[in-house]
Amino acid sequence: MMGARLHLFRIPLRVIIGLTVTIFLLLNLTKSSFGAPFEFSQVCQDSELWNWTDAQALPGKPWREEFAQSLTRQGSKIRGFSEAIALRRISQQSVDLAFSDYWISRMLFSIGLYHLAEQGFSTLIQRSPTPTIAPFQTAALGCINVIHRSYSAIPVSNQIRSHLFILDSLNRGQPTETRAIFWESALNLILESKKSSQAQPNQLLAILNDAGPFESLGLALAALQSGDLKTAQVNFNNFFQPSEIDKIHALTPKWTIDLDLYRLLASRISYELGNYSEAVQYELKITSKSNFRIQALSELSWAYLMLGKYRESIGTSLTLQSGPLRQTFAPEATMVMAMALNEMCRFPESMGAIQSFKKKYRDLYFWLKNRIANFSEAETYRQLIAFARRQPHSQIPAIIGTEWIRSPRFIADQERINLSFQEKHQRDLFSQKGKTEQRQATLQLISEARKLRLRAKEMSQNTTLRESGQAEFLSSVGQLKENLVHLKRLRRGSVYWRKIVKSDESRGHAIREAMNREISLEVHHLNQRMLSQLEEIAENQDLIEVEILNGASEDLVWRNAHPNFQALSARIKSQDKTTETNTTWNWGSTKIGAEESGEIWEDEIGSFSADLSDQCENKDKYLQIEAQEARGKNE
């Protein structure tokens, strides 16, 4: 496949070989050991910087200069890649090999080949750590963190776990920025511990010792995985202290940690432990644009219900049934609203919410049941993509489809699929640039050689010119020799590049197939979860209906026994409206019938007053007023 290869623009070099052969005999190419670095910062970012020890600055200075230039935006990644390959070919010491391997992977990262870069960085980390190569392995670990931030579906290799602990011990006492690399890596491995039998949570937590917010989060996640909810709650509370969050952002400014995910986890733990007020506080802080907004609102309605804040519970439930959120899967919100209305003795409205649930989710229930029975991996992924692209032939119900595309697993896996296609484009682009760069370098070399040949002829005919210009001529010849060396390295680099392209093409196809399977299975599991949830709610709704009907029957008897309640209830409501306006939920305005009128919300579940008065409370107030009036008459 010609377009995917790096070729030398084949202009004959024999015109300069005769000139340079003598120079090669006179000038020696020194092969020297590379000095170990002692400090680096901002790895795999545009501002990446390395500082080298003065004692070892001279031996490998040309290589370091090439490396530093390749990291800049203006530096040629093609030249950087070929220079790194050349260094690796002549390296005999472990430090040189470690540096060249990091350099090669860093160039692959720079051109967007993240899968290849991650593989190279992981291979480097898997070598037995020593003080001389540990800085490069630590930098490679930092680059893996950077890749994992953007593409979480690219797994962290299990093979680096054992060496991670050794590297951590070698880096004790390093600057906080360097230590943060290990803290982030430990957190990533804790998050993936369920997928591996080599989790070693105790050692991972040991890395996080005295790591501030990183340690709190790691302890919370580890406790959550072991089922220790109380310990998880304590550490989540520590993690979410404002000062701790600021430390996270200061240490890892490029790490866009999904705080909303951890807020949702913390709220669920608080709810399970019966701390509903704390659960509410976590849920209210989940941002409106969060991918976890739907779950947060649904669970917030539950927390309000458990706190006896029925109006807040109803308002939260209605948020999920209005505007764009009506097309999301949130069946529990309707049932929570029915229960809250029942607790307020609003029996007709409560029964209306039950009927709304049946109307909205009945057909979806049978659709899910049929879908699970006729599951097909290929068809599932195809239809999912059709829905995500809003193609007109998509047959997926919107409520189901939005639940699919909000799945974190789908988002992560699809991003990795998209990355594999982007990498194919980047390979082709890099190949074309390599061809162009070789052509330009060859033409420039020939032009310089011709100028030097004319200069040599002039000097041979003019003694004065030869004496005055000899030093400059030799310098130019040395530069020509250096440029020829770089051109040869560029040419050899193309051989390695072709091997990389061939292996990466087959790897990209395998990745896409694996991600397609994972996404299809994730959708299948989502369907099973939604069906199970609907079945559970359907079972519970029978009990709720019985409770509503019993309450309605008792209410009817009570009202008949207290005929003046209706008028007094309206008066109480009017008083409450003027004194407790902060508890009024405004969902619109319309008439609702002869009994009462005011602000209401009207949709699938029917019409009812938005400034809902608690009829159960009104009954208590009515009885109190009635008792007071009776005492007044007796007096």
588 occurs within a structural domain: yes
pLDDT tens sequence across 78-106: 999 999 999 988 888 888 899 999 999 99
Q: Lowest-confidence range among 7-11, 180-184, 222-226?
A: 7-11
* Distance of alpha carbon 336 from alpha carbon 303, whole angstroms: 10
* 613/81: higher pLDDT: 81
Q: What is the per-residue pLDDT for 491?
A: 86
The whole-number pLDDT of residue 212 equals 86
Element (H, E) at 39: strand 37-41
Pick from 367-381, 543-557, 616-630 the range whose average pLDDT is largest: 367-381
Please give the angle made by the CA atoms of 477, 482 and 486, to the nearest 5 degrees.
145
pLDDT of 75 higher than 70:
yes
What percent of the chain shows pLDDT beyond 90? 30
- Left if phi > 0, otherwise alpha if psi is -120 to 50, otherwise beta: which for 390? left
Task: Give DSSP secondary structure letters for 489-558.
Answer: HHHHHHHHHHHHHHHHHHHHHHHHHHHHHHHHHHHHHHHHHHHHHHHHHHHHHHHHHHHHHHHHHHHHHH
Is 374 within the bounds of a domain? no
Question: What local confidence, expressed as pLDDT, does residue 567 receive?
Answer: 64
Given a cut of 90, whether residue 351 has pLDDT beyond it is no
User: Given a cut of 80, is residue 417 above it in pLDDT?
Assistant: yes
In a domain, 123, yes or no: no
Q: What is the pLDDT of residue 577?
A: 52
Give the per-residue pLDDT at 259.
86
Q: Is residue 383 part of a domain?
A: no
Spell out the residues 6+ positions from residue 386 whose beta carbon is closer than 8 angstroms to its own.
393, 394, 396
CA atoms within 13 A on the CB side of 286: 24
- Closest of 616, 620, 610 to residue 337, by C-alpha: 610
Lowest mean pLDDT segment, chosen from 288-302, 455-469, 480-494:
455-469
- Local confidence band at 626 (pLDDT 50, 70, 90 cut-offs): low
| pLDDT tens, position by position, 210-247 | 888 889 999 999 898 888 999 999 999 999 988 887 87
pLDDT, the chain, mean: 79
In tens, the pLDDT along 35-65 reads 445 578 888 988 898 887 654 543 477 888 8
Whether the predicted pLDDT of 600 surpasses 80: no
Q: Which residue has the higher pLDDT, 55 or 424?
A: 424
pLDDT at residue 125 in the model: 93
d(CA 308, CA 305): 5
pLDDT in tens, 12-29: 333 333 333 323 322 332
Query: Is 376 domain-assigned?
Result: no
The answer for residues whose C-beta is within 8 angstroms of residue 418's C-beta and 6 or more apart is: none
What pLDDT, on a 0 to 100 scale, did the predictor assign at position 622?
A: 62
How many folded domains does the chain comprise?
1
Confidence at residue 582, expressed as pLDDT on a 0 to 100 scale: 42
Q: What is the pLDDT of residues 355-397, one digit of tens each?
A: 888 889 999 999 999 999 998 888 899 989 989 888 877 789 9
More confident position, 5 or 619: 619
**Residue 584 confidence class, pLDDT cut points 50, 70, 90:** very low
For residue 69, being part of any structural domain is answered with: no
Stretch 509-526: mean pLDDT = 93
Whole-number pLDDT of residue 590: 26
- Encode burial over 53-89: b for 16+ CB neighbours within 10 A, e otherwise: eeebeeebeebbebbeebbeeebbbbbbbbbbbbbbe
Kindly report, residue by residue over 102-149, the tens digit of the pLDDT: 999 999 999 999 999 999 999 999 998 888 888 899 999 999 999 998
d(C-alpha 122, C-alpha 156), whole Å: 8
Helix (H) or strand (E) holding 269: helix 259-272
- Identify which of 515, 40, 44, 39 has the alpha carbon closest to the alpha carbon of residue 255: 44
Q: What is the pLDDT of residue 24?
A: 34
Strand 37-41, strand 49-52: pairing: antiparallel
Residue 564 pLDDT > 70, yes or no?
no
Mean pLDDT of 595-623: 51
Span 183-195, pLDDT tens digits: 888 888 888 765 5
With cut-offs at 50, 70 and 90, classify the pLDDT of residue 579.
Answer: very low
Give the pLDDT of residue 246: 80
Collapsing DSSP to helix, strand or coil, 424 comes out as helix
Assigned domain for 265 exists: no
Domain extent, residue 587, equals 562-634
pLDDT of residue 62: 85
- The reported pLDDT for the residue numbered 281 is 95
Would you say residue 349 has pLDDT above 60? yes
- Is 614 inside any structural domain? yes
Does the structure show a pLDDT above 90 at 267?
yes
pLDDT value at residue 270: 96
> Distance (Å, rounded) from C-alpha 286 to C-alpha 293?
7
Cβ atoms < 10 Å from Cβ of 444: 12
Q: Is the pLDDT of residue 5 over 50?
A: no
What's residue 583's pLDDT? Answer: 40
Quote the percentage of the chain above a pLDDT of 70: 77
